[in-house]
Structure 1
């Protein structure tokens, strides 16, 4: 192998540097001006014998200055780079094209490539130790901060930076820095159940997209009540194969690092038919819901997120309810509850839910409105942390009755009720005409809006916040949320479903569950007046 003299190597680098990256020349000139210190020039021009012992030799200094001081302490020298490049089959530095990156940039690219290869390997293994520091979260972090960090982590660029940072830390450093957080995080970690819903709808798709790459493990331990076989079929259809599901038989086997799946029925003879309404899919949806409710009653789950069901094919001798809400109220012995549609900018509850329109008028009574108002008021305080909620009531009739011209319900029921509540100190206002109220965005001035019937509240809500909206059931002793959409058979299995509402349902379930736990802790530790001793 030909031995090159250091001075010749520097001449080669000088020629190469002058030929490549011409667009960087202004920056290089600025750098050269900054280096015009007479002492430095003398040191470069002097002969090696006159140099101070601590200074680098002239060849090394010249090479570094011509490369604009970009070399880092961990970077290879020119000779080392040439050896590595020749061993790996790359071109000799002297044969680089003018547009090619300089050696420092190429080394940086190689390091990034190694990081990407390592991350891909980790994902194929399900979960890796290198991701543990990123997935853990301190238990005392406020619920809102947890949700915001989870949203930021969903961003691809953020995830890559976090993965790279974790990869650069040594195993010993990870164990020392995170051991305390891991112990506390596992003990305090929320366990949330997610029911599969109708597997021929978009439920499996939005669940898999929301949980892919185990990104929800930052804030909770997810357990899907469904079928490993069905979910794997959808993973193949949707090309979501770069992460693993953890099949378990019961919730006590759940891993805090993985997305867990409990198969709730004998799924060997079940084949998915996206977009089709089948009896088998309805029976499977009920089996998943039933199994999750059992674990809720046993205190093994902190919250429940339900994927969409078909209200017709789920009907059976055991399930004779209009939907999830009524079934859960029955199972937990609750006489009344509130369908509460929630987004970042709008919260809408309804006085009458899943009943025919012909029965709405007879169901809108003073007593029923008071019940729903109280449920909304308590939920805004307990579940959403609003100490003095401000609530708007909508009228039943068009234009809120037009002073009795279009109906008397506003004058006879709603207005007198609002007057009484205001005298009690409640911030309740109305009745407002629904069309003008939403058209002028007056909902922004209130913490909650109570509509008189289902479509009066849900049509504007979904028009305003369909993608990020969440269906929250207020008044239950357990936390239950769901996305605000249905089965969407027309796009099932086509990789077109948007998972945003499912993600928001997960975040909200965790937020509400944490607030309720904090409230319980405060009540348990509250001072008993009898124990207070006056000094």
Structure 2
């Protein structure tokens, strides 16, 4: 076999007849890997100082004399099959054993005549039958109350029909934009039958559209109960109230359409009407598109402002909550250029009052500790980068501390979240939307929940949007929707207990 010379190692070889590149090795040598070592080339394990493994200690130690190591013998490729047969199990015996294993697996799949037909039926997607309940992951203790945790984590896994009506709350869920991921995360969240042990879900949407997504997600063996009104729902099933004539309507996942926006508003309006009438214990809203939902009846930047008008509430608090972090904002959905003029002593005091009341009545925290962020970079640097901290925030916090409220700050936002100082507080009040929501979603995006504090009714939503880029692709994560439902249940229970305690104290 021809060997390259060291000074020719980087020169291309050419065929004298046509000048094209060619390998000078014979055809037989090209068909098999070469076992020869070219001059000037060392195997990595034969280099001076290359590490060698000590099998007894597992440590890599430098090999100071690689020439003392015995050279590993090279085996021709054509003899590898023969060596395996001599040193191990022959090929025909191995094939026979593999065939026996396949036959055994086939026998194990034969149906048991004592089983019911639905228990013996094969399921390609490994999902349980309607008679079986799918276990939920254990829920975060810091987010849910004791009653909800007991229902979810400690009780045996039973079908929903064995739970009495008195133990379940009626939770309304508005569909949102049906071309986004709202229908998908709703169906995925409610597919866990065990959720019905603690609530009766009522989806305000369209049975036809939900069936399309149900087929897309391969949830074909899971039945939904259609109802014309809240008075016709079943407490044993997941209910769907069709809110508009949908005979000729089709889904276009990932596309912004005016029809989807108007349908989202109709569903929201129908759910809010039942919430105001006391027929729902809480409302969970799926994501909407703030552009295509706009109409003569809906001229709001989001759910929160619409609900505030419907319940005639002058002020409320956008409260982002998770198991590790709670963040409220002084200014919500307003342009950044208008933030400064809305940072006033009265406004900050109102938001702090709403936050403290919510932590007590909705989350069961008797003495909440609240951190307040500054408006300016580095919290103003003692007035060098802005006077709002010195003139507005600090005097207010000092007065509240004198009254016994545990409010502290103002803290620079970057260092506060960067050092995880939020872990020492029950909640954080940010001055504007992105100051609070960017770190919140970076820390707790999948489990985050948007809760509207200061409302007479309980409303939550997942902390993500319509996510058109993954709509209809079975890629959406339902964790935030699940947490929104859990939070709605827990807040409704806490609030009921708080009101009962207050009424008992007044008697």
TM-score between both structures, scaled by the size of structure 2: 0.73
Tell me by how many angstroms 1:237 deviates.
1.5
1:498 aligns with 2:477: yes
Deviations 1:264-299 (A, max 9, x none): 011112111111111000000000000001101111
The correspondence for 2:355, drawn from 353, 376, 382, is 376
Is the alpha carbon distance of 1:107 and 1:491 closer, same or farther for their aligned partners in structure 2, counting shifts above 3 Å? closer
Q: Secondary structure at the match of 1:114?
A: coil
Q: Does the alignment pair 1:118 with 2:116?
A: no
Whether the 8 Å contact between 2:133 and 2:194 is mirrored in structure 1 is no
- Structure 1 stretch 353-362 or stretch 265-274: which is displaced more? 265-274
Q: Partners in 2 of 1:506 and 1:402 — Cα distance?
A: 42
Aligned to 1:399: 378
Q: CA deviation at 1:328?
A: 0.4
The aligned residue for residue 451 of structure 1 is 430
Runs of 4+ in 1 over 4 A off after TM superposition: 97-102, 106-113, 119-128
User: Residue 236 and residue 471 in structure 1: after superposition, are their counterparts in 2 closer, same or farther (change >3 A)?
Assistant: same
Following TM superposition, by how much is the alpha carbon of 1:253 offset from its aligned partner in structure 2, in angstroms?
Answer: 1.0
- Conserved in 2, the CA contact under 8 Å of 1:126 and 1:258? no
TM superposition shift of 1:144: 3.1
1:474 correspondence with 2:453? yes
User: Residues 197 and 243 of structure 1: is their aligned pair in 2 closer, same or farther, counting only changes over 3 Å?
Assistant: same
Aligned twin of 2:330: 351
Contact 1:322-1:354 within 8 A present in 2 as well? yes
Give the superposition deviation at 1:321: 0.8
SS at match of 1:235: helix
Q: Secondary structure at the match of 2:115?
A: helix
Secondary structure at the counterpart of residue 339 of structure 2:
helix
- 2:239 and 2:425 map into 1 onto residues whose CA distance is 39
Residue number in structure 2 paired with 1:193: 172
Query: What is the Cα deviation at residue 242 of structure 1?
Result: 2.3
Cα deviation, residue 146, structure 1? 2.2
Q: Residues 124, 266 of structure 1: CA spacing in aligned structure 2 closer, same or farther, 3 A cutoff?
A: farther
Alpha-carbon separation, structure 2, partners of 1:112 and 1:355: 66
Q: Give the C-alpha shift of residue 120 in structure 1.
A: 6.6
State the 1:147 CA deviation: 3.8
1:266 is aligned, of 245, 270, 279, to 245
Deviation at 1:378, TM superposition (A): 0.3
- Between the aligned partners of 2:240 and 2:355, the Cα distance in structure 1 is 34
Q: Which residue of 2 aligns with 1:246?
A: 225
Higher normalized helix content (fraction of residues)? 1
* Pair 1:351–1:310, CA change in 2 (3 A): same
Cα 1:436–1:234, aligned 2, differ >3 Å: closer, same or farther? same
| Conservation of the 8 A alpha-carbon contact between 1:223 and 1:261 | yes
Distance 2:151 2:471 in 1: 30
Shift of 1:524: 3.8
- Structure 2 residue 414 is matched with structure 1 residue 435: yes
C-alpha change, 1:324 and 1:100, in structure 2 (3 Å) is closer
Q: d(CA) in 2 for partners of 1:99 and 1:277?
A: 53
Residues 68-147 of structure 1 correspond to what in structure 2 (within 5 A)? 114=115, 117-118=118-119, 127-128=130-131, 143-147=145-149
RMSD: 3.3
Whether the aligned pair in 2 keeps the contact of 1:194 and 1:225 (CA below 8 Å) is yes
From 182, 185, 205, give the equivalent of 1:206.
185
Measure the CA separation in 1 of the matches of 2:213 and 2:277.
Answer: 31
Q: Does 1:217 align with 2:219?
A: no
Q: What secondary structure does 1:191 align onto?
A: strand
> Over residues 156-184 of structure 1, what are the superposed CA-to-partner deviations in whole Å (9 max), with x where a residue is unaligned?
xxxxx947xx8xxxxxxxxxxx99x74xx
Instruction: Quote the Cα distance in structure 2 between the aligned partners of 1:125 and 1:115.
Output: 14
In structure 1, C-alpha distance between the alignment counterparts of 2:459 and 2:370, rounded to whole Å: 22
Task: Say if 1:144 and 1:511, in contact at 8 Å, map to a contact too.
Answer: no
CA distance in 2 between counterparts of 1:121 and 1:360 reads 59
The answer to whether the 8 Å contact 2:382/2:390 transfers is yes
Query: Do the aligned partners of 1:147 and 1:511 also contact (CA within 8 Å) in 2?
Result: no
Deviation at 1:189, TM superposition (A): 1.9
Residues 417 and 116 of structure 1: is their aligned pair in 2 closer, same or farther, counting only changes over 3 Å? farther
Q: Could you list the per-position Cα deviations for residues 451-495 of structure 1 after superposition, in whole angstroms to 9, with x for gaps in the alignment?
A: 000000000000000000000000000000000000000100011
Distance 2:181 2:381 in 1: 43
Give unpaired runs (5+ residues) of structure 2.
1-98, 137-143
Partner of 1:20 in structure 2? none
Q: CA deviation at 1:516?
A: 1.4
Moved more, 233-242 or 496-505: 233-242
Q: CA deviation at 1:442?
A: 0.2
TM-score calculated relative to the size of structure 1: 0.69
- 1:275 maps to 2:254: yes
Distance in 2 (alpha carbons) for counterparts of 1:119 and 1:503: 31
